[in-house]
Amino acid sequence: MVRRARELGVQPFSAHAPLHGDDDQVGAGASPHGQAVLLQYPGGRWIQGLVAGSDGSLTVVARADVTELVRAQMLATEASEKLVQQSATDGLTGITNRRRFDETLGAEWLRAARTGNFLSLLMVDIDHFKRLNDHYGHVAGDECLRQAARLLQVCVRRAGELVARYGGEEFVVLLPGAEVGQAEELAQRCLQ
């Protein structure tokens, strides 16, 4: 029965133990007293079953269509992940925001103190930004900020380095493990 279900495209999921392995071993290790199993059917249907079995046998005792519940849970998870992403991202430039930068700086500061590694930070300010904004308007100023953010992200190359909007026309580049010379080199690359 399990082999036929797999041939039809049914994907089993268990809340207690992963259901994988040989076709005849699906459900192996399940308690003889029952275990909840979630089955994904082709076409996006989800069925939850209460199964009992042991020694490689699997018997479905009860089942219910939980498609709407699973879909609602998936939507809630996606919304939660999107909210987490949005709370860490600057809405205008799409890079890390000040709040996430502050959190990351705190963690990296403690790590550097614990390990004795270097921690460098670049403060980037766009010269004459107020005049640009006053003369060309806020739309042009916003585009300038987006371009500056993209440029800074292109300059950052090592894993763990972080570019964030600090506020207004100010950006920061956090460089864990970078010595002063490396930070100066990156600053020059950004300026060029």
The DSSP code sequence of 115-176 is: H---EEEEEEE-TTHHHHHHHH-HHHHHHHHHHHHHHHHHH--STT-EEEEEETTEEEEEEE
Catalytic hit among 169, 179, 184, 185? 169
* Residue 169 annotated to the active site: yes
Tens of pLDDT along the chain (192 residues) come to 455 555 556 665 544 433 333 333 333 334 445 678 888 888 889 988 887 766 666 676 778 889 898 898 988 888 888 877 777 899 999 999 999 999 999 999 999 999 999 999 999 999 999 999 999 999 999 999 999 999 999 999 888 899 999 999 999 999 999 999 999 999 999 988
Q: How many residues does the chain have?
A: 192
